[in-house]
Amino acid sequence: MIKVISSKKCWQYNFSGHPESTERVKATYEFLLKHGYEISEPSPCKEKDILAVHSLSVVENVKSGGFIDGDTPNNKNMYEFALLSAGAAIGAAESALKGKPAFSLMRPPGHHAFKNHSGGFCYFNNIAIAVQHLLMLPLLKWGGIPMNNTSGFGIPTDGINPRIAILDIDCHHGNGTQDIFLGDENVLFISIHQSPLYPGSGLKSEKNCINFPIRPGSDETAYLEVLTKAIDEIMKYKPDLLAVSAGFDTYEDDPLTNLGLAKSSYGKIAEKIKETGLPRFAVLEGGYSSSLPECVLNFVSCLKI
């Protein structure tokens, strides 16, 4: 089975009426346990990991409990929860680097957090922190997996750095992740998202960021056609590892969005990701329906080796 990383500690905060609730992760955690998954406890990331992608002002604002916006409530304990969520993403990334796919089942999510500000339910950008963590590791740490942009198996040659592709399948554009990595030659960012929809960005591709906006009401067939194009772009880039911002708000009954995927669609999405043959990990983003546990189970059960 795929490695699942989560902590009951992320159930300890809640904001009344907010869709990013304790229950969505709690129910999914318990559902995966019921289906035989072992769940590993994460370690919080270090502040230096946050500062590798965010400005000091973002860190200080989250740490102090300063106001962000109505969608992104803050309190004096949010810093600890956000460190733990980012730490779980790093743990999943390191697992993938060792050849074992992993899934971070944590909250708060991250892909709307910019370099210089938080927002959209997100405090720190978990997947960006995890990807940057891998890119900053000594090259010896990359010696255990086949590398696509080298002359063979192992450490990059002639100073060539590893390459990582990020595939964002949340229904909302990963505007924060794009902001952080725009122009970075070692990262390819691809987002498949509903448009029009919050945050209103991702209408065109730019530099190393490829966007696939899709119409409201698009069904599984239409979605998988676009996903195939996205996978083709990933394979052309020849990354050494694939990171997935795994949102499940593309589900047909999600209360915040208007796409038409079924519960079974997430197994098909994971199969296409697995077919890349790339070391891979995924980090939970959105997904607000009561069917989130089943959607996640279908995804993780097909993402394994």
Residue 112 among the catalytic residues? yes
pLDDT band with cut points at 50, 70 and 90 for residue 179: very high
Beta carbons of 267 and 220 less than 8 angstroms apart: no
Residue 65: Cβ-neighbour burial (10 angstroms; 0-12, 13-18, 19+): middle
pLDDT band with cut points at 50, 70 and 90 for residue 54: very high
> Which residues have a Cβ under 8 Å from the Cβ of 88 and sit 6 or more positions away?
5, 6, 7, 42, 104, 105, 106, 126, 283
Mean pLDDT across the chain: 94
Above 60 in pLDDT, residue 152?
no
0.85 cut: is pTM over it?
Answer: yes
> Which residues have a Cβ under 8 Å from the Cβ of 164 and sit 6 or more positions away?
131, 134, 135, 186, 187, 188, 239, 240, 241, 242, 243
- Please give the residue that has the higher pLDDT: either 157 or 178: 178
Above 60 in pLDDT, residue 50?
yes
112, 133, 172, 193: the catalytic one is 112
Above 50 in pLDDT, residue 151?
no
